Chain A
Amino acid sequence: MSDFFDNWVVQVRKGVLELCILRALAGRERYGYELVKTLASVPGLALTEGTAYPLLSRLRVAGMIQARLEESAEGPARKYYSLTPEGRRTLAVMNEFLDKLNNGTRSLEK
């Protein structure tokens, strides 16, 4: 069972990683290091820091998020990420879809 469950978890994580990133940026912009650390601390997500950056790049190329570089006195330059308008719309649609899916799957148990 554990193998079956592990495989299923892997597939679920694959599906929600982008959603998690969009949700993390919904409230405010964050710089990359902070965002990755936050995502890495989400229980069950098991996101490695090395995995996060390719995802972020993919989302930026898709136009869901935008980035800007800002010099920092405390260390290397910080790259700040935020949602684009397209990203917000997509997040809303994804949230709606996920809610529907969740409600739908729960209704299957009745």
Chain B
Amino acid sequence: MNNWTPAASQVWDEYLEQNRARIAASGGDVEEIFGDLRRHVEAELAAQKLPIITEQDVRQALQKLGPLPNVDFTPPVNEKPKPSSGKFTVLGFLLLQFFGVILPFGVLLFELASHACASEMFDPLPTYFHVLLVAVVPVANGLAGWFVQRRKTIPRWLWISNAVAFGISAFYAILFLPTTPFALIGIIFLGFGFIPLAPLCSFLCAWRLRHLLVRHHPESAPRLSRPGWWGAMAAGFLVLSLLAVSTILTRYWIREAANAGNPNPDVIKLLRSFGDREVLLRSCYGQSQSDSFDYMFRTAQRPTPEAVRSVYYRVTGQPFNSVPPPLNKYRGAGQAIREDYEWDEGLGGEAVVGRIKHLSLAQSRMDGAAKPEEGWAYLEWTLEFKNDNTVQAREARAEIQLPPGGVVSRVTLWINGEEREAAFGGRGQVREAYQKIAVQRRRDPVLVTTSGSDRVLVQCFPVPSKGGRMKIRLGITAPLGILGEHSSALRLPCFVERNFGVPASLEHNLWLESPTPVQTGLCHVTQEAIDGKAGVHGGLSEHELTSTNAVLRFGAAPVSSRLLAADPLVPGQFIEQTVTAIPGAKPSRIAIMLDGSRNMTPYYRDIASFLKTIPTATETRIWLEQDQLDLIYDSSWNQVGDPSKRVVNLRGEGGQDNLQGLLHAWDWATEKPGGIVLWIHADQPAQLENFLALQQRLDWRSGSNAPTIVDVPVFPAPNRITQELANLPTVSALPRYGTLPDDLNRLCSQWFGQAHYEYARKPADSDGMQATASAHIVRLWALEQSRQLLRNHKIKEATDCAATHQLVTPVSGAVVLETKAQYDEFGLTPADATTVPSVPEPSTLILGAMAAFAFFVWRRRHGKTRRQALSH
């Protein structure tokens, strides 16, 4: 009718309206008859090949059509007309509406609100796209029913929507097929169970509606040809199937990787390229019930969350708890309740484990003093945790990277506004006290133990629910790194791993004073010098605190000093500190083990520039671990050229286990006395392979000829390998006082000529010299002494030394309990407030307080005596 004039169309429309009643009385389908008449008229006019159809042409065609029948279609007497098999009865319509529209729509809303299926079996609506697809079914069924009921001409899109709804409901009908028998039993015996049957009902209704559409409107059925209808149906089915395939394959690959002792690198690569990261992360938390089809194929080989966490690291290169925990496992009304009751699997344990929702760091401040002339700094890091869980108290856990050579020398907990100092004791002793008091009796302790070299694990429980807070303070004594004759540095402590969130807006408030100027690269920190005192203060973001800029530099160092400090906890003992220049020791071999993890990518250029500084005459090999171990450089290779070229364009992938490479590097380095293993790596949050092979080597070769493993983390991150190797003399961490190139070049300079400075501390006689140096020097000596005793297997002596000097070492820890009775129960004694360090130094503070108190008392007595004298 494209070439009809408006007047011609009007004539046609008038004709239809005039004859509608007559046609309806003829017993046929009105719309069908009108359609036939239209086609007939169009065929007549088309035969005339008229360019434009005018009103007159239409009138002539209608005249030729002749009168419409005036036929009475009266059924025979005593015989009711048989209803057409395609007739849409009222009951049929209502049933179709209920089972095809109301039931599926109601079930969709119910699942969105309660997630009953997601929590008990699997999540049928894992994404909003799934929700949209499922919503198509009741909408399409409803529209189809309306069109059939109203006997309207069927548009093409309705056929397509019917086909898509058919495909979608078919998918879910298959998915819920195993539950169908139980649903039927529920309906028969209990009167409910329609919910699992909703997909099957929708499927049957969609099929019935298609049948009705074809029967009632056959002339429009071919608008969507048979292959087209089935194609649209298949599209609806396949979209959901493809979405599920990704999940199914991810689950399968996770099982393959996690259940194998040494995962196939190809499986890891498949997970990296095609795996569903959300599924992988959920599996790290043991949330494995959330996937379609998975519940149908459950086996006894489900991997443990611990095994999956290793896989997560290998695939992504990140620890699983470095990203927020998966959201929306329980959506809707039950979400808050279920999340509040989620069990903290790491409670009272010896690892940080996963992130806890609603637990966060509320406030943070760092107060400190440094004395570069004596080579030490003391920081007090006050942390306040907050728990917004509505039901459960939570444990806050964090692994903290201390400044190089640092030690925790004070732990304080606020209880009802009062400061309580920690007791220092054997590591096992304090942990037992913590677990019994905190975990079992749910009282208020804090526990601090070491967690590798220069790292401590802090645990405090319970952080009360409903917005409750818990405040602690860690005192950290650290030696300043001597960078030159007049230069020293302090790396600020930072979180390496934590189970609580740190809001983006939170700032770590830093205030540190020093008698010598302080410089820093931190952006929002003010450097000042007033009245002979220098200092820095300002707010640092969490990111800044972990960056290479979190270093304070001082314009002095105790290079030419001999200092004597009195031991405040062992009367009569004095500790002497000197600084010795150690000449560089050229390594016989340098075995470099490079981590091929994803997080290493930004650092390969820096490493390449460092490699250029190594003299070409030095025997050097470089291994790279990237899903497999490769020797990428050997100085003995002919025509190899610059080793930096092998490294500069590297790109990291996933997470890599470096143990195998360390073994190779160590084996090669040990062939000659004086070898060095330089291990440059990112995070190593999982101990992926058998660690004992490396430990065995280090146990057997620990003398002066044994190779030294220099641990070079490119940024502060968890490291399960060095955690096990802490306190071994042949393993040392490269102190990080700057960027990676700066620190590596400093190391290289020390190897090849430039002397470096080391502290030497030992007990000494006073020899008439005044012991004016700080007690921190004593603490640092005690730390070294305890470690040395431990290496010599003198555990008790090491523990006594550490506990006496109130230090957290590999053999000792600190715990704050609530009452004296609790301390007595475990044979612990809290530190005396006068013996713990503080900012400023306690001796100054107490002297001042004592002087003030003495003056006050004298004033009162003097005043009383005068009054008595006057009264007499």
The reply to whether A57 and B68 contact each other, CB–CB distance below 8 Å, is no
Contact present for A61 and B27 (CB under 8 Å): yes
User: Is B28 within 8 A of A54, CB to CB?
Assistant: yes
Encode B136-162 as 1/0 by CB contact (under 8 A) with A: 000000000000000000000000000
Interface-side segment among B32-40, B771-779, B833-841: B32-40
Q: Is B40 touching A33 in the complex (CB atoms < 8 A)?
A: yes
Please judge, given known A-B contacts A58-B27, A63-B84, whether A53 and B37 are in contact too, CB under 8 Å: yes
Query: Does B85 contact A63, Cβ atoms closer than 8 Å?
Result: yes
Tell me whether A44 is interfacial, beta carbon within 8 Å: no
Q: How far is the CA of A36 from the CA of B33 in the complex (A)?
A: 13
Binds A, one of B218-226, B312-320, B493-501, B665-673: B218-226
Q: Looking at the assembled complex, report how far the CB atom of A22 sits from the nearest CB atom of chain B, in whole angstroms.
A: 16
- CB-CB under 8 A from B69, the residues of chain A are 50-51, 54-55
A7 CB to closest chain B CB, in angstroms?
A: 15
Near A by CB (< 8 A), chain B positions 297-348 give: none
CA distance A33 to B38 in the complex (A): 11
A residues in contact with B38, CB < 8 Å: 76
Once A69-B219, A77-B39 are accepted as A-B contacts, the answer to whether A50 and B68 lie under 8 Å apart by CB is yes
Pick from A56, A57, A75: contact of B43, CB under 8 Å: A75
Min distance, Cβ B441 to any Cβ of chain A, angstroms: 82
Interface flags, A29-68, vs B, CB<8A=1, else 0: 0001100100000000000111101111110111100111
B64 CB-CB contact with A under 8 Å: yes
B210 to chain A, nearest CB (A): 16
In the complex the two chains form, is B220's CB within 8 Å of A69's CB? yes
> Is A74 on the interface with B (CB-CB < 8 A)?
yes
Which residues of chain B come closer than 8 Å to A62, judged between CB atoms? Answer: 84
A49–B66 contact, CB under 8 A? yes
A70 at the binding interface (Cβ < 8 Å)? yes
> Known: A32-B40, A76-B43. Contact between A49 and B64, CB under 8 A?
yes
* B28 with A67: CB separation less than 8 A: no
CB proximity of B578 to chain A, nearest CB, Å: 101
Q: Using Cβ atoms and an 8 Å threshold, which residues of chain B touch A58?
A: 26-28, 73
The one of B39, B42, B43, B65 that contacts A50, using a Cβ cutoff of 8 Å: B65
Q: B-facing mask of A68-90, CB < 8 A → 1, else 0? A: 11100011111100000000000
Tell me, in angstroms, the Cα distance from A69 to B64 when the chains sit together: 24
B23 touches A54 (CB 8 A): yes
> In the complex, A49→B67 CA distance in Å?
8
Evaluate contact between A36 and B68: CB separation under 8 angstroms: no
- Name the contact of A60 in the complex, choosing from B23, B32, B223 (C-beta under 8 A): B32
- Partner of A67 from the list B40, B66, B219 (CB cut-off 8 Å) is B219
Asked if B29 and A50 make an inter-chain contact with CB atoms under 8 angstroms apart, the answer reads no
**Is the beta-carbon distance between B26 and A48 smaller than 8 angstroms?**
no
Assuming the contacts A53-B33, A54-B33, A75-B43, asked whether A70 and B222 have C-beta atoms less than 8 A apart, the reply is yes
Q: How many angstroms from the CA of A70 to the CA of B32 in the assembled complex?
A: 15
Neighbour of A76 across the interface among B26, B42, B221, CB < 8 A:
B42
What 0/1 readout, one digit per residue, does chain B (696-707) give for beta carbons within 8 Å of chain A? 000000000000
Determine if A53 and B85 form an interchain contact, defined as CB atoms under 8 angstroms apart: no
Contacts of A78 in B (CB 8 A): 39
Query: Are A33 and B39 neighbours in the complex by a CB distance under 8 Å?
Result: yes
Chain B residues within 8 Å of A61, by CB: 27-29, 84
**Is B28 a contact of A69 with CB atoms below 8 Å?**
no
B36 pairs with A79, CB closer than 8 A: yes
What is the bound-complex CA distance between A4 and B47, given in angstroms? 40
Tell me, yes or no, whether B847 is within 8 Å of chain A by CB.
Answer: no
Bound-state Cα–Cα, A57 to B32, Å = 7
Closest to B24 in A: A54
Give chain B residues whose Cβ lies under 8 Å from the Cβ of A63.
84-85
Expressed in whole angstroms, the minimum distance between the Cβ of A62 and any Cβ of chain B is 8
- Whether the pair A76, B73 counts as a contact (CB closer than 8 A) is no
> Interface residue tally of chain B, by bracket?
20 to 34
Q: Nearest-CB distance from A104 to chain B (Å)?
A: 21
Question: With an 8 A cutoff between CB atoms, is A14 at the interface?
Answer: yes
Within residues 34 to 57 of chain B, which ones have a CB less than 8 A from any CB in chain A? 36-40, 42-43, 46-47
Q: Is B869 an interface residue (CB 8 A)?
A: no
Given contacts A67-B219, A69-B220, contact A76 B46 (CB under 8 A): yes
Contacting residues, chain A, for B617 (C-beta < 8 A): none
Inter-chain contacts of A77 with B (CB < 8 A): 39
Query: Across the interface, which residues of A come within 8 angstroms of B37, CB to CB?
Result: 50, 53
Query: Which residues of chain B are near A33, meaning CB under 8 Å?
Result: 39-40, 43
A76-B47 Cα distance, complex, nearest whole Å = 11
- A91 to B36, alpha carbons, bound, how many Å? 23
Q: Is the CB of A50 within 8 A of B36?
A: no
Docked Cα-Cα span, A48 to B37, in Å, equals 12
Given contacts A57-B28, A76-B46, A77-B39, whether A69 and B85 have CB atoms under 8 Å apart is no
With a cutoff of 8 Å between Cβ atoms, the chain A residues found around residue B132 in the complex are none
> A79–B33 contact, CB under 8 A?
no
Per-residue contact bits, chain B 151-191, to A (CB 8 Å; 1 contact, 0 not): 00000000000000000000000000000000000000000
Residue B21 interfacial (CB < 8 Å): no
Question: How far does the alpha carbon of A43 sit from the alpha carbon of B218 in the complex, in Å?
Answer: 32
Q: Which of A57, A69, A75 is B29 in contact with, Cβ under 8 Å?
A: A57
Q: Which of B75-90 contact A (CB under 8 A)?
A: 84-85
Q: Which of B36, B38, B223 has the most CB of A within 10 A?
A: B36
Q: Who on chain B is nearest to A66 by CB?
A: B218
Instruction: Out of A14, A48, A50, A60, name the residue touching B218 (CB < 8 Å).
Output: A60
Partner of A54, one of B26, B64, B219: B26
Chain A residues near B570 (CB-CB < 8 A):
none
The answer to whether A48 touches B67, judged by C-beta atoms less than 8 angstroms apart, is yes
B71 within 8 A of A: yes
B39: contacting residue among A55, A57, A76, CB under 8 A = A76
- Please, which residues of chain B bring their CB within 8 A of the CB of A51? 66-69, 71
Note all chain A residues with C-beta closer than 8 A to B26: 54, 57-58
Contact of B222 with A69 in the complex, beta carbons under 8 Å: yes
Give the nearest-CB partner of B81 in chain A: A62
Do A53 and B29 contact each other (CB < 8 Å), given the known contacts A14-B71, A63-B85, A68-B218? no
Chain A positions within 8 Å of B85 at CB level: 63
A92-103 toward B: CB 8 Å interface, digit per residue (1/0)?
A: 000000000000
Contact A36 B27 (CB under 8 A): no
Nearest CB on A from B34, distance (A): 9
- Chain B residue numbers with a CB within 8 Å of A49 are 40, 64-66
Please indicate the chain A residues that have their CB under 8 angstroms from the CB of B71 in the complex: 14, 51, 54
Closest partner residue, chain B, to A46 (CB atom): B66
Residue of B nearest to A74 (CB): B46
> Which chain A residues lie closer than 8 Å to B221 at the CB level?
69
B32 nearest CB neighbor, chain A only: A57
Smallest distance from the beta carbon of A17 to chain B beta carbons, Å? 9
CA distance in complex: A67, B665 (Å): 82
- Listed from nearest, the 10 A-B pairs whose CB atoms lie closest are A48-B66, A57-B28, A75-B46, A54-B26, A76-B42, A53-B36, A50-B65, A33-B43, A69-B222, A51-B69
Q: Would you list 29 pairs from A and B whose C-beta atoms are within 8 A, ordered by A residue?
A: A32-B36, A32-B39, A32-B40, A33-B40, A48-B66, A49-B40, A49-B65, A50-B37, A51-B67, A51-B69, A53-B33, A53-B40, A54-B23, A54-B68, A54-B69, A55-B69, A57-B26, A57-B28, A58-B73, A61-B27, A61-B29, A61-B84, A62-B84, A75-B46, A76-B39, A76-B42, A77-B39, A78-B39, A79-B39
Please give 9 more A-B residue pairs, beta carbons under 8 A apart, in addition to A57-B26, A61-B27, A77-B39.
A32-B39, A48-B65, A50-B67, A53-B28, A57-B28, A58-B73, A66-B218, A67-B219, A75-B42
Interface residues of B (CB under 8 A from A): 23, 26-29, 32-33, 36-40, 42-43, 46-47, 64-69, 71, 73, 84-85, 218-223
* A contact residues vs B (CB 8 Å cutoff): 14, 32-33, 36, 48-51, 53-58, 60-63, 66-70, 74-79
